[in-house]
Structures are given as C-alpha cells and as structure tokens.
Amino acid sequence: MPFSSARPWWKRWFGSRSERAAERFLRGLGYRIVARNFTCPVGEIDRIALDGRCVVFVEVRSTEKNSTDAPAASVGPAKQRQLTKLALWYLKQKRLLEHSARFDVVVISWPENSKPNIEHHTNAFEATGRYQSYS
C-alpha cells in the first residue's frame, strides 16, 4: 500500500529538519525534551520540554526565507486556542496541573547556503479562551 499523507514528502522533511534543529537549540539552553510530536484528541504539538520545573509547550515554525516574521505571525489566535486546549489536556493526563507551564515558539529561517537563523520566543503567548485560568 503506498504511503499517504496530507503533506508532500519535502514539506514533512523540511518540518522534521526544523524540529530537530529547534530541539538541539533548546537542549543547548538546558531544556529537557519530554515529548516529540505529541498527539492527542485535541491536536499535535512539536515539542514538550522542561525548563527547570516549568512545562514548556513548544511550537516550531520554519521558512526557507531570510525573514522570520511570517512564520512567527502564523501562530495566531486560532492556533493559540488549540495549543491551550492541548496543553490543558496534557497537564491533566500527566497530573501536572500544579506545575507552571508556558508556550514558547521557535522560528527557524533556512537561508540558501547559510546556517539556520533561530529565534526563540519565550512565553510567546498566554493561555487563551476559557482555559486561561490554568496557565
């Protein structure tokens, strides 16, 4: 049976490469990665990490262009609501509601023939919607 996916192979490859680069970057900052591409009924998040005792939900965005503005802006209100629901689901399942948590966004640009540029937006947004009391 042929492999089927909603995204072409090169987009999956590009996304995976960016997530691996983001993970290396975060580990270099002392974060401990506890989950990769975590999926639950609410959705999927690229990485879940610990920064000390703080649970960090990390969304990775990437581009082949020099500017990181568009990928950073793509984590808009709808995505923030989804990530908030996902974080609450995770924290409940792991019995971590008493721990602090935050949302980080790592944006990577891959200019041609150059090393990637990585921007780390710590605490990029607050929990949204009716779930914000759990942040």
82-130 per-position pLDDT tens digit: 999 999 999 999 999 999 999 999 999 887 777 888 999 999 888 876 6
Q: Is 114 helix (H, G, I), strand (E, B) or coil?
A: coil
pLDDT in tens, 46-92: 999 999 999 999 999 887 666 555 555 668 889 999 999 999 999 99
Q: In what order do the strands lie in the sheet with 101-109?
A: 32-40, 43-51, 54-63, 101-109, 117-125
**Distance, CA of 122 to CA of 36 (rounded, Å):** 18
Pick the CATH number of 9-134 from 3.90.1150.10, 3.40.50.11740, 3.90.950.20, 3.40.1350.10: 3.40.1350.10
Domain residue ranges in the chain: 9-134
Whole-prediction pTM value?
0.82
Give the number of other Cβ atoms within 10 Å of residue 18's Cβ: 23
